[in-house]
Structures are given as C-alpha cells and as structure tokens.
C-alpha cells in the first residue's frame, strides 16, 4: 500500500494500530510517541510526569478478557495482572510483531491540521512537518484531569488522582476522596492502610462489584448471559450481584435505583471489606469546603487534611484546534463505532471508548477494521452520519447521563458490532499461530 499513515501515541491502542496497519499491508506507517518508551499510562513513574498507573495498580478486567485478539497473555500471569506484568505484556507484543521500528520516541505532536484532499499536516515539537493520507488518533483519554466544583476554599492539601502514586505521603492523615470510580476506590483502599481516617464522597449510589464470583473472575460470566434478552439478563445479573454482596445498605451505601449495566462498573473486592472493617467511610456529596472543614449534603461535617479528586479526565486532543474537534463540552460523542467521524473519512479514533470490560481487544478490532479501510478491503458506511447519531442515541438510552458515560459501551455487543465490519479477506499475521502457541 502506498498510503502514508500517521499514528499518534504508542500506548495500548497505538501499538495495535501499528500492528494491524502492517498486517493489512500498509508500508508507510509512522507512530509518534512523546515518551521514551511504549506503554502509555502503564509506564509507572514514582514522580508526577505523564498520566501513569500508581504503585499498586492491577487491571480490573481479567486477563482472558483483556488480551489482544491474537496475542494471549502468558499462562503464568494471575487473573488480574499487575501494572508491571501488563507493561511487559505490551513490550512482548511490540517485540513479537517488531513494532518499534515504526515508532519515533521522544517525539511530541504539537499540531495537526486537515488539508486538501482529506490529507493531514502533522507538526512536531521539534519543528518538523509531515503530511499523511490517514490519521490514527490513539493518544488515550486519561491524561488531562477533570476537577470538581468545590465552593469555598480548602486550606489542606489538594490533588487529583492523576497525581496519586503511593499511599506513603498520607500516613496519619485524614483523607477525603471525591469520586467513587475505580481510581477513587483504589485510592481509598490503599490509603486506608496508613491513614488515620479515609472517607469517600459519592454523589450518587454505585454498584461495587467484587472481582470474583464462584471462584472465577466476575467478567467471565458476562459471555454466557449476553445472548439473553434484557428482561432476563438484568434480573439474573442483579441476583448474582446480591449473592456476592448482599444489601448495599449493610455497608452504609445507598442502594442504586438503576440496573448495574447503566453505569460504568466499579470492580473492587477490597473496598467493601475495608468499609465493614471501619477503615473506609462512605459519605454523601460535598456541599462546600471551608478551610479544612467539609460539609456534606446530608448535614454531616468533618475535617480533612487532604482532598483527592478522583473525578475522571477530559476528552481532549491537544494537537487539534478546539474549533476543529471538541468532545469535552458535550455529553454526546457522535462517532460511529466510537471511531468514525462523519466529516473526516481519513481520520480514525482508536481506543476512544469506555467499555464495560477492557479497551485493548476493542482497540485491536477497531484498528483491524480501520487498517483494512486504508488497504481498500473495507468501506466506511455511506450513512455513517446517521449511524453515529444513532449510536450516540443508544448510549444516551442505555447509560446514566453524564460526561463519564459519553464513551460508554457494553463490551460484547460492541465487540460483535465492530467485527461485522471486518472483511472476510482481511489478512492475519502469518505468525499468528506462533503467538497463540507462545
């Protein structure tokens, strides 16, 4: 293939984008990575730098539900590998498919501009300028923190979970975590091992789901249930969760008034344990701050030394002019398959999705489809605009309205949806069987 393709980012999505482009027969592929190595936010750094995992991070989807489609994780990996093991898995993937020769490290993309003929001008921080026929955006969506609105002035220490690395700085402190997503709950558990007092503020009730059910990873049960109609599937899921947890009220938590599938799942086996042992204390939403005093919406007031905002990340592309593409200011992201923009047929977003499961296999499938579009074997639907709108409508119906759900999908239905677009003659990597036998 003579097409020139640019991939931005060599994290989990950028790596599989490069691999699938090469697999599809595209010869001119360049991946720009601003850091010195692959792995994106799975490269742990003790100090604050890029957006990275913390010291004790393990994945929240099980390894069999997280691996790339033709590159299994090692058999000796645990059900939920650590960040070190995940990074080594990515490195093995890059070595096996010889991907690093396509990557330019320590090379930041400063600006991207669309030009005539649906082509792209890419300007680098070092002053270089390059033109491409296709652009694959795989820079991730966990890099620019989103902060909560806190009326008043807090005189203690304040940070976003983006900056959290280890629990040691919080020894003997009174710590409030705002936000009960997966990062917030992980912070609460780890900090509660050393802090004097840890509270978690939740604006609404959440489902806290243990990582294991009947001795197996919880997410492995989704497959057998997925073919069932919703009116059967949801009650079965609710019943199985009740068997695992019992009543959320027994933990001092509000009972959710919506099905578990309408909100991004919180997978954490330790949080409920720490709550029942008096180490983590659930709290209502924060009403305001006043010095170190924090009044909550139920009238309770407590003093804290530290506030950690675990309130998610903005959807940003620092290399695009905001007038060109800006998804942050809306709760709707009208992209078909979370990757195809109706106005830009040579632009593909890879990994810009928040599944109830793992991103990496979906990024793999997205990349395979996009690579075969570049190679001429697959087509973008003529009605992509109406399909993108319909998909955004489905997300609005299926999930609680919030910015955190603008990219949300149900894993298995979305997996099958992408797969239907991959042509039968899409080439496989010739060493695929070797990878599976590894």
CB 62 within 8 A of CB 79: yes
- Shared domain check, 243 and 174: yes
The pLDDT value recorded for residue 49 is 54
- Shared domain check, 305 and 428: no
- Shared domain check, 124 and 15: yes
Full pLDDT tens readout for the chain, 438 residues: 689 999 999 999 999 999 999 999 999 999 999 999 998 888 877 666 555 678 888 998 999 999 999 999 999 999 999 999 999 999 999 999 999 999 999 999 999 999 999 999 999 999 999 999 999 999 987 778 899 999 999 999 999 999 999 999 999 999 999 999 999 999 999 999 999 999 999 999 999 999 998 889 888 887 777 777 877 888 888 888 888 889 999 999 999 988 888 888 899 999 999 999 999 999 999 999 999 999 999 999 999 999 999 998 889 899 999 999 989 877 789 999 999 999 999 999 999 999 988 999 999 999 999 999 999 999 999 999 999 999 999 999 989 888 778 899 999 999 999 999 999 999 998 754 444 444
At 222, which CATH number? 3.50.50.60
- Shared domain check, 15 and 119: yes
Instruction: Tell me whether residue 257 is exposed, middle or buried, using C-beta atoms within 10 angstroms of its C-beta: 0 to 12, 13 to 18, 19 or more.
Output: exposed
CB 104 within 8 A of CB 31: yes
- Shared domain check, 348 and 319: yes
The pLDDT value recorded for residue 402 is 81
- Shared domain check, 163 and 121: no
The pLDDT value recorded for residue 437 is 44
Which pTM was predicted? Answer: 0.92
Q: How far apart are CA 12 and CA 351, in angstroms?
A: 8
92: number of Cβ within 10 Å:
15
Could you say which of 309, 331, 352 is where a domain stops? 309
Q: Of 4, 33, 53, which Cα lies nearest the Cα of 99?
A: 33
Structure tokens at 232: 């059967």
- Shared domain check, 229 and 333: no
The pLDDT value recorded for residue 51 is 57
The pLDDT value recorded for residue 349 is 98
Q: How far apart are CA 206 and CA 266, in angstroms?
A: 8
Q: Of 42, 340, 342, which Cα lies nearest the Cα of 350?
A: 340
CB 306 within 8 A of CB 174: yes
Q: How far apart are CA 278 and CA 276, in angstroms?
A: 5
The pLDDT value recorded for residue 433 is 42
SS (H, E, C) 370-395: HHHHHCCCCCCCCCHHHHHHHHHHHH
- Asked whether the CA dihedral 308, 309, 312, 314 is positive or negative, the reply is negative
- Shared domain check, 159 and 108: no
- Asked whether the CA dihedral 353, 355, 360, 362 is positive or negative, the reply is negative
CB 112 within 8 A of CB 320: yes
- Shared domain check, 130 and 165: no
- Shared domain check, 12 and 122: yes
**b or e along 232-256 (b: 16 or more beta carbons within 10 Å of the residue's beta carbon)?**
ebbeebeebbeebbeebeebebeeb
Number of domains the chain contains: 2
- Shared domain check, 178 and 39: no
The residue with tokens 């270089």 is 128
The pLDDT value recorded for residue 229 is 80
Could you say which of 254, 284, 309 is where a domain stops? 309
Q: Of 241, 136, 262, 248, which Cα lies nearest the Cα of 202?
A: 248
Could you say which of 283, 309, 335 is where a domain stops? 309
Q: Of 329, 144, 183, 332, which Cα lies nearest the Cα of 267?
A: 183
- Shared domain check, 392 and 362: yes
Which domain, by its residues, includes 43?
4-144+313-437
The pLDDT value recorded for residue 426 is 95
- Asked whether the CA dihedral 412, 142, 58, 77 is positive or negative, the reply is positive
């Amino acid at each position: 293939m003579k097409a020139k393709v640019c991939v931005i980012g060599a994290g989990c999505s950028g790596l599989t984008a490069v691999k699938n482009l090469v697999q599809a027969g595209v010869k001119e592929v360049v991946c720009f990575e601003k850091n010195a190595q692959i792995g994106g936010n799975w490269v742990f750094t003790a100090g604050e730098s890029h957006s990275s995992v913390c010291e004790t991070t393990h994945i929240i989807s099980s390894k069999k539900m997280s691996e790339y489609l033709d590159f299994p994780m090692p058999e000796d990996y645990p059900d939920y590998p650590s960040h070190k093991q995940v990074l080594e898995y990515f490195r093995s993937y890059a070595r096996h498919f010889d991907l690093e020769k396509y990557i330019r490290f320590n090379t930041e993309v400063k600006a991207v501009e669309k030009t005539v003929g649906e082509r792209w001008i890419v300007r680098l921080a070092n002053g270089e300028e390059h033109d491409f026929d296709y652009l694959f955006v795989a820079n991730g969506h966990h890099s620019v923190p989103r902060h909560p609105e806190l009326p008043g002035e807090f005189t203690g220490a304040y940070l976003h979970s983006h900056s959290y690395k280890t629990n040691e700085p919080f020894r003997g402190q009174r710590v409030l975590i705002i936000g009960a997503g997966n990062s917030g709950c992980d912070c609460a558990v780890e900090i509660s091992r050393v802090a004097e007092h840890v509270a978690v503020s939740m604006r609404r009730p959440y489902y806290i789901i243990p990582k294991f059910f009947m001795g197996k990873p919880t997410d492995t049960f989704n497959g057998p249930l997925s073919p069932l109609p919703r009116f059967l599937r949801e009650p079965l899921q609710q019943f199985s969760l009740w068997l695992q947890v019992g009543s959320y009220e027994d933990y001092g938590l509000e009972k959710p008034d919506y099905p578990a599938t309408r909100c991004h799942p919180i997978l954490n086996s330790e949080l409920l344990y720490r709550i029942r042992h008096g180490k983590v204390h659930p709290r209502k939403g924060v009403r305001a701050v006043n010095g170190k005093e924090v009044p909550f919406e139920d009238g309770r007031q407590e003093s804290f030394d530290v506030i950690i905002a675990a309130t998610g990340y903005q959807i940003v592309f620092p290399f695009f002019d905001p007038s060109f593409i800006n998804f942050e200011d809306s709760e709707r992201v009208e992209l078909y398959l979370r990757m195809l923009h109706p106005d830009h047929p040579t632009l593909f977003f890879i990994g810009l999705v928040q599944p109830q499961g793992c991103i990496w296999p979906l990024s793999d499938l997205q990349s395979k489809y996009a690579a075969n579009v570049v190679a001429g074997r697959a087509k973008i639907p003529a009605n992509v605009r109406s399909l993108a709108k319909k998909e955004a409508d489905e997300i609005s119906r299926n999930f609680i309205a919030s910015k955190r759900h603008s990219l949300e999908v149900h894993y298995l239905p979305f997996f099958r949806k992408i797969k239907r677009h991959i042509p039968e003659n899409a080439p496989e990597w010739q060493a695929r069987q070797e990878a599976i036998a590894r």
